[in-house]
Amino acid sequence: MPRKNQFTADEIVGAAYALARDHGWKGLSVTAVAKKIGSSTMPIYSYFDNLEKLKDAVAVKGWHLLMEYETRHYTGDTWIDQSMGYIRFAMDENQLFHSMFDGRNNALQLEMRTIHWNHLTRALKGYEDFKGLGKEQLFLIRYSRGMFTHGLAVSVISNWGKLLEVDGMVESLVVATSRSILEGYKDTYDLENTNIAFIDTNIKKIFEKGKLEKE
């Protein structure tokens, strides 16, 4: 009768996750995880074929922590708080953030980004400032703000300029830019504009694939 594994998959992922949070992928190895749980490498390989599979499990756990950050209250405005949570996560979990977006497994990243988008969509149901917007228009507003948020998060954790070190500056940038994107696309979403028409057509294709939940 095979010997029962004394460690669970969750315990192994938890140990790997702790290492990634502190040191990123460079600090994560099967040997390091085994040392952390006080075991040989055998229990790890009984659950994970290789280190890449273990990294995938760590990345998924990181995405769930990110989504938890985005549900926290920072300003009381749900949409603004989602952006603030993303940036706060990047600041608090610098190593994990870099690991999640390193392009190591693009298929998994796309899968988790879709889950992430749908999670945020459900949280924004009934959001007052989005009422009356078409789904393509709203997608463009949220997508544009998402790109801004990711860029700002990277800038903050990369010490990009003294301006971002000013107390309250990040929140002010998030609020001002979010409102500018929202009001700007409310006024300029004109399908006679060739750029907007091109964007609109491709947004429709994304929705046709059926992976993103409509607002």
CATH number at residue 33: 1.10.10.60
Please say if the pLDDT value at position 186 is more than 50: yes
Neighbours of 210 (CB within 10 A): 8
Does pTM top 0.85 for this prediction? yes
Spatial CA neighbour of 138 closest among 113, 121, 116: 121
Residue 25 lies in a domain: yes
Q: How many domains does the chain have?
A: 2
Residues 75 and 164 in one domain: yes
Compare 150 and 210 and report the one with higher pLDDT: 150
Is residue 204 very low, low, confident or very high in pLDDT (cuts 50, 70, 90)? confident
Residue 115 lies in a domain: yes
What gap in Å lies between CA 149 and CA 93, rounded to an integer? 16
Residues 15 and 86 in one domain: no
Residues 81 and 179 in one domain: yes
User: Model confidence over 103-119: pLDDT tens digits?
Assistant: 999 999 999 999 999 99
pLDDT value of position 213: 75
Residue 143 lies in a domain: yes
Residues of the chain above pLDDT 90, percent: 81
Residue 215 lies in a domain: no
User: Model confidence over 66-102: pLDDT tens digits?
Assistant: 999 999 999 999 999 999 999 999 999 999 999 999 9
Residues 95 and 180 in one domain: yes
Residue 54 lies in a domain: no
Domain that holds residue 85: 60-208
Assess contact for 112 and 67: CB atoms under 8 A: no
Within 8 A by CB and 6+ apart from 80, the residues are 74, 174, 175, 178
